[in-house]
Structure 1
Amino acid sequence: ARDWPAVTVDDFLGVSREYDDTKTRTGGFGRGVEILKMVQEHSGADVTPGALLYLTEILGNLARGLELNEVARQHYEVLGDICEHLGDLFGGGHWTPEHGDPGDRIYLPVATGAEDGPPAEPDLPSVGLAIPVMYGLDSLRATLDSLHAQAYPKLEIQAVDGGAGWSSLEAGRCPTVEWTSLPDTSPAEAINAGWQRSRAEILGWVRPGDRLCAGVLRAVGRTFADNPQLDLIFGNAIFVDADGNPCPVEMGGYRSAFWLGRHSTPGAETNWTVPQSTVFFRRRLLEKLGGLDPSLPYLADFELVNRYARHGRIAKLERTLALVRVRPGGEKIRWNGYLKEYYRLNRPTWPRFGTLAFFLRLNQFRIDFLARKFSRLRRGPKRWALGLMLMLAAGLRLFNPERLFAGRLKALPLAPPFLLPIPRLRAAPEPTWGKGRRAELRVFFCSPEIPVQPSRSGQEARDFLLLRNLARFCSVEVYSHSNAAPRQGQHRWPPAERFHTPAGTAAFSPNLISRKDSRPRLRTWISSRLRQLLLPVLGPRCPLQVTEQFCSVRAFLRPALRKALKRQPPDFLFVSPQTNPLAMTLPMDEVKSRLVLVLHQPETVQAEAVARERGGLAGLALSMEAARTRWFEQENLAYFDGVVVPCVEERDRLVSSYGFPAERILVLPRVVDTEWWQPLTTSV
């Protein structure tokens, strides 16, 4: 347990979809037979679920090619059953395991007493940790060993016996631990009692069985010492079993052994949690705002962090701080408890009843609830009736809807420890907060939708890669203006400090929505419908795909972005893709940032090529669209200080066609993100 990187299986499976040499996509029946032979050789079984998946998919494709549609349909139904079985075993109902958890590129040496600690630093603050003792001695001793091995000079450990009876046994064995016996108390009450008894300036808590990684307390102490204005910090964690092996657990729709620490307030569009063993805060918060809420047995830590965040300054140490012990059994009970308590915390934060923001939030709750508990229920009267009941219950606050259908929440069994060696990844850069400084540059990235992985297009994949590279040396905020339907399944979000979406703006800043711009004018609506039918229309200056974005940009993105630009303008404002009309809607005298256009494909060249292939009215309409595309491209380029293009040819086209300076164009080729997906070189 000395060095563990946190990785995701999906990153490595993604290689087979990016490199044709693996032939898992295009190998046909011959590849299926090869896979079957390989499985028989290595497993000794005639067939495995994974091999059966490939064979069934191949047979279904062959049947469809022979126009045996009914045979193909039956094969695809069997394929769906196999995928569900594999998802139950390995990843939240997805046929590829563990969607959605970013890899932590930090090595994880567990704190031991084998090495001498670093020299004492007298300016470090005192740290007090509370331990609620509710379990056996073995898990408690592992936690105490981890804390003692930190060699932190100003550490207080308050162990509160909630009725297990270990205080009398361990008091003499661990003289550095202060024991308190409070029978018949809950964990939250025991932790609060430990904090009250502690005299330390920095407070935190760990459960028996949890362990801190090496050097964590010194990193925490140094961060607070260098940042006096900071009130609370947190980090990432790894789930482990009783033997200390990484252990994927149910994360609400997918499974992961990595607990990515992210903070979000109740009512946020995306809800993240913070590993409680990585939370450290100043005593002044406890004295001002109180401790854990004992009435929330599942989300007391979530509520505490959010309460403190509303009244203090918080930050994240971008490293893995703790190994969190997982106890088998009760996953479904725990997740239903989480959902009930989260609704209780979340519902009072909804927008005022009757407003547009309220109905957007109510509809999103209905969509999420049905997707979580009735994902296989097709559209029809039953699904419609369930949705209506949910909207009435949540909208009128009749009762807590999460108390209903508790047995339908799919909870997956704990997976066995990893059978394959985990690849070692490069170490992550030092956290900026640990050195008392922030990122040097600030970037706003604006696109129709927030780019995620797995992506639906090459454009989205390039935006995601660009964001990952920017996040290494910049503070990034992402703005989107599309009210697109939510993605199915779990996705990896880009590394950004904040995400701004129309739903989030409607929920928390409804005054920033320009309602008069949310719908197109009648003339614009009619002309757009005619252009969709490939009929020639005079009047519009911009191409159709640009015209259709103006309303959402003006209604949702422009007001929020203008406020942010006035408050604290970023160094760079990235706009993606080339059809995004944001720059044309902003008053340039208010924009102090440098504008960068992310161009993915030659829209003008493609529009002109499509127009040449059609004749008649459709050809005339497409020719007019091509002319509009060229006009918009030229006018839009005038607003930008720089352009990111995918190839040298596109750079040369911008220089020759529009006279854009070549030195202000950056070529970012279409590549595979090899820091996440590493090709495997083999000899045949």
Structure 2
Amino acid sequence: MDRRQPFAEPARPRRGGRLRNSKRGHGTSPKHRSLVPASLGLARAGRCNRGPVRKGSAGVTDLPTISIVTPSYQHGSFLEWTLRSVILQRYPKLEYVVMDGGSTDKTPEILRRYQRFLSHCESAPDQGQADAAARGFTHTTGEIMAYLNSDDMLAPGALNFVAGYFAAHRRVDALYSHRVFVTEDNTVDSYWILPRHSNWLMSRWDYIPQETCFWRRRIYEEAGGIDPGFQFALDYDLFVRFMQRGQMRRVNGFLGAFRRHAASKTAGLIEGEVHPEVARVRREHGIRLREWHRLPELALYEWIDVRSRYFAARKKTGYNYDRLWGGLLTDHRLPEW
């Protein structure tokens, strides 16, 4: 498996099938749990993808600057994995900002160790995740932007892929990928395999995986940036504004990993429950859900669930996500560059 390549091209399932909400885990038999799927090393992302930027394919000066902000608070148990998943991309034109809300766990110690790899870092009380992310972006200048929560991770090679994709698709303003779920100990336990992007679907139902989404600064500024008034649906609100003004794409692979744990914001939600902030986004952007919309909503759930279960069942769960990184995420030694 080539670990320089960023993500999997999911298996192509047979047509048909029914599904329900894919937030449930999709396990495999115990005999497969030590296997790392070779397909997670593939770098193709649909027919039009040109693949990741390779060494020697372009000079450093030709690469776009990528700005990533990590809002953080009391995630000392996961933060180092997040930092390493960004820093170990070894992307030559990276601006990495960490905005911590005044954590009292081991976060300050971790940030001191990695401070020389960060373009900006501060730890002070804030007004929440959206406020931290929005202020963090004021310290950046990159042409491509993203924010990565302090319990999530990027896939190996993700930044090179993103740079190459935007260079090859000048009209695309934002991109995202399928989603892989990991547990508190980095075990991959399920997936979201998403359909091709549709503004109509994705503006009505919040399925865009935030940890995999990258966008151009031009669309961020045109859309007005992150609204600090949100605490839960800040990404959904931002992406709806992107869809209203520009072009989004779903690439056929995995650019990052979403961690599920007891302290996460989504942990307390009941399956099928609509968060008040999601309803607020729909209301503020004039997105009306009519009675007949229940049919495409259920069809979307079914589509995602069948394909996610199909993909997971092919020996693609039960392994440690760090194995894709060759053990580098849990290696506490600092990079030597």
Q: Does TM-score exceed 0.5, indicating one fold?
A: yes
Contact kept in structure 1, 2:9 and 2:253, CA below 8 Å: no
* Residue from 259, 272, 285 that aligns with 2:192: 259
The answer for the alignment partner of 2:230 in structure 1 is 296
Contact 2:173–2:248 under 8 Å retained in 1: yes
Q: Count residues with an aligned counterpart.
A: 273
Match of 1:213 in 2: 155
Aligned to 1:406: none
Alignment of 1:26-45 (within 5 A): none
Aligned CA-pair RMSD: 4.3
CA contact (8 A) 2:191 2:312 kept: no
Distance 2:111 2:300 in 1: 47
Which residue matches 2:220? 286
- Letter of the 1:155 partner, please give it: L
Q: 1:649 is matched with which residue?
A: none
- Write the deviation string for residues 320-368 of structure 1: whole angstroms up to 9, x where unpaired: 11111111266343768743222222246256xxxxxxxxx54347xx5
User: Cα 1:336–1:298, aligned 2, differ >3 Å: closer, same or farther?
Assistant: farther
In 2 relative to 1, CA 266–291 (structure 1 residues): closer, same or farther, beyond 3 Å?
Answer: farther
Tell me by how many angstroms 1:140 deviates: 1.1
2:205 counterpart (248, 271, 277): 271
Local SS of the residue matching 2:188: coil
Q: Does 1:492 pair with 2:318?
A: no
In the alignment, is residue 315 of structure 1 matched against residue 315 of structure 2? no
- The residue number in structure 2 matching 1:108 is 40
Report the secondary structure of 2:229's partner residue: coil
Q: Please give the per-residue CA displacement for 1:541-577, whole angstroms capped at 9, x wherever unaligned.
A: xxxxxxxxxxxxxxxxxxxxxxxxxxxxxxxxxxxxx
Superposed displacement of residue 135, structure 1:
2.6
**1:363 maps to 2:319:** no
Alignment of 1:91-240 (within 5 A): 107-109=39-41, 118-119=54-55, 121-122=58-59, 123-164=62-103, 166-167=107-108, 170-177=111-118, 178-240=120-182
Bigger RCO of structures 1 and 2 (CA < 8 A, at least 6 apart): 2
Partner amino acid, structure 2, of 1:119:
K
Give distance in 2, aligned partners of 1:281 and 1:269: 16
Give the counterpart letter for 2:233 in structure 1. Answer: L
- In structure 1, the residue matched to 2:259 is 325
Matches within 5 A, 1:573-612: none
Moved more, 193-202 or 159-168: 159-168
Q: CA shift at 1:236, angstroms? A: 1.4
* 8 Å contact from structure 1 (residues 261, 275) kept in 2: no
Q: What's the TM-score once normalised by structure 1's chain length?
A: 0.35
Contact 1:129 1:205 survives alignment (8 Å): yes
1:346 matched residue in structure 2: 282
SS at 2:181 equivalent: strand
**Which one is further off, 282-291 or 117-126?**
117-126
- 1:514-553 matches, cutoff 5 A: none
Q: Residues 677 and 7 (structure 1 numbering): CA distance in 2 closer, same or farther, change over 3 Å?
A: same
Relative to structure 1, the CA distance from residue 158 to residue 676 in structure 2 (aligned partners, 3 Å threshold; closer, same or farther) is closer
In structure 2, the CA distance between the partners of 1:230 and 1:6, relative to structure 1 (3 Å rule), is closer
State the alpha-carbon separation in 2 of the partners of residues 363 and 675 from structure 1: 32
Write the distance in 2 (CA, Å) between the matches of 1:294 and 1:235: 25
| Equivalent pair of 1:109/1:213 in contact (CA under 8 Å) | no
C-alpha contact (below 8 Å) 2:203/2:240 kept by paired residues:
no
Among 168, 188, 194, which residue is 1:246 paired with?
188
Q: Judge conservation of contact 2:146–2:213 (CA < 8 Å) in 1.
A: yes
Q: 2:40 corresponds to which letter in structure 1?
A: L
Partner-residue secondary structure (3-state), 2:78? helix
- Give the secondary-structure state (helix, strand or coil) at the position aligned to 1:180: strand
Question: In 1, distance between residues paired with 2:203 and 2:167?
Answer: 34
SS in 1 for 2:39: coil
Amino acid in structure 2 at the alignment position of 1:326: R
Shift of the 343–224 alpha-carbon distance from structure 1 to 2, 3 Å rule, reads same
Give the % identical residues: 23
Partner in structure 2 of residue 415 of structure 1: none
Shift in Å at residue 203 of structure 1? Answer: 0.6
Kept in 1, the 8 Å contact 2:72–2:100? The answer is yes
Output the amino acid matched with 1:107: S
Q: Deviations over 1:214-250 (max 9, x none)?
A: 2111110011122333211111120101211123xxx
Counterparts in 2 of 1:185 and 1:264: CA distance versus 1, 3 Å: farther
- In structure 2, relative to structure 1, the CA distance for the partners of 1:675 and 1:280 (3 Å cut) is closer
Kept after mapping to 2: 8 A contact 1:171/1:179: no
Secondary structure of 1:171's aligned partner: helix
Confirm or deny: 8 A CA contact 2:67 2:95 kept in the other structure. yes
For the 8 Å contact 2:9–2:252, the answer to whether it is kept is no
Q: Deviations over 1:48-85 (max 9, x none)?
A: xxxxxxxxxxxxxxxxxxxxxxxxxxxxxxxxxxxxxx
> What is the rounded CA distance, in whole Å, between the counterparts of 2:103 and 2:280 in structure 1?
31
Structure 1 gap segments, 5+ residues each: 15-86, 99-104, 111-116, 248-256, 352-360, 369-483, 496-673, 679-684
- The residue type paired with residue 291 of structure 2 is N
What is the CA-CA distance between 1:188 and the residue it aligns to?
A: 0.8
Q: Structure 1 stretches (4+) deviating beyond 6 angstroms?
A: 1-8, 266-270, 484-489, 674-678
The offset of 1:209, in angstroms, is 2.5
Q: Distance in 1 between matches of 2:208 and 2:273?
A: 17
**1:169 Cα deviation from its structure 2 partner:** 5.5
Aligned partners of 1:171, 1:152: CA distance in 2, in Å?
21
Distance, in Å, in 2 between the alignment partners of 1:292 and 1:284 is 14
TM-score normalized by the length of structure 2: 0.66
For 2:178, give the aligned amino acid: N
Q: Deviations over 1:250-302 (max 9, x none)?
A: xxxxxxx2123565557879625111111111112232222222333221101
Larger radius of gyration: 1
Residues of 1 paired with 2:125 and 2:87: CA distance?
Answer: 26
Deviation at 1:131, TM superposition (A): 0.3
Task: Report how far residue 170 of structure 1 moved.
Answer: 2.0
Output the amino acid matched with 1:309: M
Determine the C-alpha separation between the residues in 1 that align with 2:123 and 2:80: 18
Distance 2:69 2:85 in 1: 14
